[in-house]
Structure formats: C-alpha cells, structure tokens
Structure 1
Amino acid sequence: MPAPVPSSPTDGRINLEQQRKRAKERLKQLRQHPPFDQTLADAQWQIAKELGFSSWPKLVAHVDAIDFAARHPDFAASDEPRTTHWRCGNDIAHSLQLAGFKGRFRMLADPLCMGPVQQLPAAAYKRQRSRFVSQAFGLALGEVSRRFDDEYRDLAELGNGQPGVLWCEADAYDQLFLIRALAGLALVPDRLELIEVSQVPGVERFIGIGQLAPDVLAWLWPQRRPVDAAMLQLARQAWQAYCDASPVPLAALAKTDHPALPLLGRALRRQLQELPGVRDGLSLTERLALQVTAEAGSLPLGKVFGVLMLRHEPLPYLGDLMFYAMMRPLIEGANPLLIGQEPQLPWAQRPVRLTALGEQVLAGLAYWPDLASHERWVGGVCTAPGAAHWAIDEQGVPVWQVRQ
C-alpha cells in the first residue's frame, strides 16, 4: 500500500472537511490491496492516527472544541484585565489578543539555555547575563541591561496576589524559564496558574506555542492548573542544580520525570547534552550541525538550522539567532571546524563547509575542547579551552575529563 502522506497543518487548526475528503481518498487506496473489504471507518481511523488521535470521534471532538472556543472567546478566554500572561518571549502576545484574552502580557526573554547561569546576587547576576547576551548577539550592552532590569523587575512581581498564568512548552528554553520564575517565589501564590504543552493534536511537528493559531491558544486555556507547593519545591531544587558548577546534581534530578512538573526531566536531559560529549567534545547541537553540513558538503547556515530543527533536533529549543551565536565559535575561532564563505551575505545565506579539523572532530579523531579558543557554559558548568572539565557520556552520565 502507498505510504500515507500526512497533511496536518503547523498551527494546530484542523479542517474537518479536508480530513473527510482524505479519508475517502484513503479508502480508495485501501481497497486496491488485500483485504479488499476495508470500510470508510477504517480509513478514518488511519487519518485520525496520523493526526495524533486514537479514534475518528476523538478527532471530531477536538475540532468541535476548537470551533467552540473560536465562537465563544469570552467563555474560552475567561481571564481578567488584571491577569498577567507570562512567557519566555513575545511570540504569543498578539495571538492572545486576537483570541480575546484581556490581561496584560509580560515576558522574560533571557536565553537561560545559553551562557553562564550562576547563583549570584541579583545585581551581579543581571550584569553577567547582560554581558553574555550583548557579546553573543552583538547587542548594545546598555540596551540589554535596561531590558533585563525591566524584565526581572516585572518577574519580581510574580505571585503578588494578582492573577497570573505561565505559558510553557517542553523544551529547555521554556522549562528553564519556568523553574527560574517559580524558584524566586517565597510562598505558594494564591492566583498563579500554569499551562504546559508538549504536543498538540493535528500538529505534525510541534515546535512551540508560538506556532499555534489564536483559537488553539483559547483551546489550551481551560487546561491550566494551579501552581502548588510541589512545583515550587522542585523548581528550587532544579534551579539550584542548574546553577551548580558541577552537573552531577542536575543529572541526578534529570534521571526521572516528576509529576509536579512532568515536562522538566526531558528538558534537563536534553540540556545536559550541551556539555562536551566524551568522544568528540562537541555539544549535541554542534555535532548535529556538523553532521548536517557534512552530509550536504556545503550548505547555507540558515539551511543547516532549518534541517537541524525539522529533522534532527530531538527537542527544539533554539531560535535562529541563538543557533548562529552557537556556530560563530566554530567558524571564527583559532582552529575553526567550519569555513564560512561569502561573508558579505546575511548570516543565514552564507554557505559553510567542514574544515579538515571539523571532519576529524566529527569522526572522534580530535577532541574539540583541546582545540577551541572560547569558553563554553551550560548553566553553572564552565568548559575552559584545554582545561579539565565536565563532559557527558552517551547514557547522560557526567564524566570528569582531565586533559593532558
């Protein structure tokens, strides 16, 4: 039988009439192969399974629920004008307004999955993060510092008795934002809720909440749950472990999933893979990017990012500028692993290919931290060029590497 061709959209909305037509076409295909007595219900079940549902009636119920949310925004978006919607970026701010939400929007856009994240006094912490973001993204330090002052001042108001909702997905960017926000709370707030999502039925490749249509955000709204003491305790433990100079506490915490924050364990396991691998010294992002480039021979850096996110990244968490910031040390360092061509082009259009050293490192014949000229951080864990450092093995176990 011919392989099925999924037609699910990327924004979460499902056209039921289109799926009915697909089911009829599928039935024609099914009846060309034994057994020849397949029914429309069989074809509908296949279509429903491809879209992430266990049955056709559940697909229909899901579409009906979203349609209802779209027709009744005051019911679905029952927030108050004084409700604060919290997010780790501004990707859903406009969609919330379109869906009928009435509250204000606040964000913490600090990319905690990159650069040094240590337990420091508030002023020193913001200085460290501002310097990193300024250098990594080529932004004016004063502008970054002012933005962080505003965002962290707003975050200090979280749990102040006003209604609030945290919108998060399953990746490290969001989950680190979540534990950072919750770890700062002294007491369980009265009116703080959490919406977490790892997948949406009908979305073939769920990357994040920002890709969802406004009416799908309204559909998510009733799924929120109150922030409780177990969440705060786990967030504090996880944040302290993430800021530690050793990855051992974080790895111990990441071994299992936790009912209080069920998406956290997987995100932490993925973040630990940004430590140097014991075989080649590459982070998982670096290794996958080199593999994509090696397979193509030469590829624009933006295409490398696209292929990486769509086909290879197990838990997408990077934006395009974040990816470019990670690749720059591999291109611009004293011993580059990638050759960047046509520097006059915007970064996404610049072709890159592996250097001879890049091929050796990717093959495990050379060890990248011995040759790199840049410092690397995963939370509070620092890898300095040529120095002893923490690495991660294939089972996710931290290993102390003493270099000769």
Structure 2
Amino acid sequence: MNDQYVHITNGDAAAERIRASGIPGEVLPWRESWLDGPAEPIWERPDATARRASWLERELGIPAPVYALQRRELLTALDRAWSGEAEIVLWFEYDLFDQAMLASLLHLLSRKAEIPRSFGRAHTPAAGRPAGAVSAAGTGMPGGEACPREPVPGLSWVIADSFPGVTDFRGLGQLTPAQIDSLWPQRTPVLTGQLAAGARAWTAFASPDPSAVEDWLGRDAAVLPVMAEALRVHLKRLPAKEDGLGIVERTVLRLLERSGAFTPDKLFQAASAELAMLGMGDLTFWAELKRMAGRPVPLIEIEGAEPLPSFTAPHPADWSMWQIRAAGAGLEALKGNPVRRKRGDGEFHGGGRWLGGYFAADSFPKPPRA
C-alpha cells in the first residue's frame, strides 16, 4: 500500500475519479449502504456482520458470504492503513447514504484513535482556511466554540456538498478527474472534537430509540452541520403520526397520485430527484416498493409477472415488464386517513423496515372476510 495517502470514499464511481485525477495514494472504495438493514453500534463485530448479512441476503438478494467477505477485506485494509504512516483521507458527500457511512467510520476510527498512531508527517493542506472547514463548496464545518480543535494525526477529509458550475450536484462521481484534483488542496484535518461528534452520531443512528438522533442534533449539529442535515432527513423516514407514512412512502404515493402509473425505472428517477438528500440506490428503492406492495393492506400495486430486481438479477432489466400504481389505502393515507387498527381487530406483525438501529414495524388491521 502506498505509504503516503490512503483515500477512503463512498464506492466505486468516486474511487475511479480519484484514481484518474492523478492524486497520489491508494484508493479504498467503501461499499456499504446504511439506508438498508440493521445498524449496530459496534457494527464491525463478526456477530453484527452475520446478522446484517442475513438480512441483506433475505431482503436485497445480496449473498451473505459475499457481503461478509467484502466487509472483512475492507476492515483489513483499514487496519493496515491505520497501523501504517499513511495519511487517511475521507472523501464523502452530503446525503444520508454518505453521511451514515462516514459516521460509522468515524465511530470505528475514534476507537482506534484511543491508541495514538505513529505518524511523523505534519498535515499542511488548506492553508489559510478556517480550522475544520472541510466542505469542498466552502459551506464548512466550523466546529463551534466548544469543539476541541486539535487535529487527529494522519486523518483529513473532503466533504463535497456542491461544486461551482455543477447544477443539481449529487456527488463526486459526477465530477471530472480535473475537478476532483481541484478539491485536493481543500482537504482539511479532522479535529478531535469532530471525530468525537461523528462517533456520537453513529451511536445515535444505531440506537433503537429514534430520539437519540434528536438528542445528537441538540448537542452536535453545530460541530458537523452537513451530517446534521443528513440526520434531519433520516428522521423524516420515520412513520409520521398524521398519515403513518415516511418520506419515501409519501413521495412515491404523491408521484403516483399525480401521474397514475410508472415503470420502476421512471419512478426511481422521479423519486430520486425529490429525495436527493437520501442518496438512495436502486436496490434500496426496489425493496421499499416491495414492502409497500407486500403489506396486508397494500399502499401500492405492482403489476408484473416477475418480482422487482434483486442484487443477482440480470442487467439491464426490461422495465416495461412492470407498472406501478397507487392502491386505495395509499391514496387514503395521503389524505390523512391511514389504515389503523381498530379495537377488537386481529393484527398482523412481521413487516417493517430498519431505519438505522430502529425497527419501524408495520401492523395492520385484519383484512375483511371475503
């Protein structure tokens, strides 16, 4: 491994751009989606990995051995980087997909940082910029007056929330190698206070109590404002008291209400445009649609002879095979009349979704007798 820099980024598209930019160092694409499945505080433990791998195989079709092996390889590479003298550079974007991944890494690195690294080189990028201002777009993470400002030895980052001249900025994978190279001088050290706040963010995200995220926002939002915006969006994924819907379900139903029907690819494009702060991938979206259609009282109807694609499905898919429409219960929920359990009704359990460490269970009234 290159002994000067190790770049960790949010997957293969951004990794390819960094490699093509000519920036020195090894590039480690981090492959994970914390929008899906259970999150645990000490997420890298073998038992936590096994539980998550089982869920991903069942719900997304990702083979559990493939996921477990990939995680072991990533953790081994990170351990090797941390134990060496390379500067670790974190390249992440503003959306929840990236910020949850970043929080999980900061939690792990904060525990590794309890044992000081043998790191001899001084970190000198971004001269003249305010300490802790890591946003590539200049938004910054100022850290607040109470944030300890000592740099973590050998750890820096670039957090990209926009780029000059790029409209509808979604991420580093949109940029050219030359544009990526222009971000390199703007990286800044990760401060000890930011590392600690990021670790606390992960603890909150992985908590079975969603109020932990609200508590984190009250304490640390000023320290990591980009992460705070992402976690505010995370809270909108929770079922609302008014209609029983989270932001993804509500967005899907509103699109279907307006347009009548979509093929899956067009619905994904439309929903992604409205939910850019989630950074949601297609597998995540298909799983959400399957859940909405698979409830005992469905919110949507999926017309098609085959299930929506999973991880192992052949690509490209013939999207004309499917049509997706809102079901009556979904349209009623949009009006503020969600299906609710009545006194004396039987009830079904078993459906639901993981939102970080919180399992939002679906429960429904017993369907009427035929």
**If the TM-score is normalised by the length of the shorter chain, which range does it land in?**
0.7 to 0.9
Question: What residue number does 2:121 align with?
Answer: none
Give structure 2 stretches of 5+ with no counterpart: 114-150, 309-316, 342-346, 365-370
Q: Does 1:269 align with 2:232?
A: yes
Q: Does 1:378 align with 2:355?
A: yes
Indicate the SS of the match to 1:184.
helix
Question: What residue number does 1:359 align with?
Answer: 331
Q: Matched residues in 2 for 1:233 and 1:98: separation? A: 33
Residues 148 and 277 of structure 1, relative CA distance in 2, 3 Å threshold: same
Give the number of equivalent residue pairs: 307
Name the Cα RMSD after superposition.
Answer: 2.4
Indicate the SS of the match to 2:291.
helix
Residues 287 and 351 of structure 1, relative CA distance in 2, 3 Å threshold: same
Amino acid corresponding to residue 84 of structure 1 in structure 2: V
Amino acid corresponding to residue 326 of structure 1 in structure 2: E
Question: What residue number does 2:67 align with?
Answer: 144
Instruction: Give the stretch that moved more between structures: 85-94 or 252-261.
Output: 252-261
Residues 291 and 361 of structure 1, relative CA distance in 2, 3 Å threshold: same
Amino acid corresponding to residue 283 of structure 1 in structure 2: G
Q: Matched residues in 2 for 1:155 and 1:273: separation? A: 32
Q: CA deviation at 1:296?
A: 0.6
Q: Matched residues in 2 for 1:155 and 1:295: separation? A: 47
Question: Is the 8 Å Cα contact of residues 152 and 189 (structure 2) preserved in structure 1?
Answer: no
- What does residue range 102-251 of structure 1 map to in structure 2 within 5 Å? 102-120=24-42, 122-157=45-80, 159-160=82-83, 161-185=85-109, 186=111, 187=113, 189-251=152-214
Q: CA deviation at 1:159?
A: 3.4
Q: Matched residues in 2 for 1:88 and 1:153: separation? A: 17
Q: Does 1:101 align with 2:78?
A: no
Look at both structures and tell me which one has the larger radius of gyration over its CA atoms. Answer: 1
Q: CA deviation at 1:166?
A: 0.5
Q: Matched residues in 1 for 2:62 and 2:297: separation? A: 25
Cα distance per residue 1:204-244 (max 9 Å; x no partner): 10111111111110111111011121111101211111111
Question: Is the 8 Å Cα contact of residues 173 and 317 (structure 1) preserved in structure 2?
Answer: yes
Q: CA deviation at 1:249?
A: 1.9
> Which has the higher relative contact order, 1 or 2, with Cα contacts under 8 A spaced 6 or more apart?
2
Equivalent of 1:253 in 209, 216, 238: 216
Q: CA deviation at 1:147?
A: 1.3
Residues 145 and 347 of structure 1, relative CA distance in 2, 3 Å threshold: farther
Amino acid corresponding to residue 46 of structure 2 in structure 1: A
Q: CA deviation at 1:373?
A: 4.9
Amino acid corresponding to residue 225 of structure 1 in structure 2: T
Give structure 1 stretches of 5+ with no counterpart: 1-79, 388-404
Question: Is the 8 Å Cα contact of residues 163 and 192 (structure 1) preserved in structure 2?
Answer: yes
Q: Matched residues in 2 for 1:196 and 1:171: separation? A: 10
Indicate the SS of the match to 1:239.
helix
Residues 271 and 91 of structure 1, relative CA distance in 2, 3 Å threshold: same
Q: CA deviation at 1:156?
A: 3.6
Amino acid corresponding to residue 244 of structure 2 in structure 1: G
- More helix per residue: 1 or 2? 1
Q: Percent identity?
A: 25
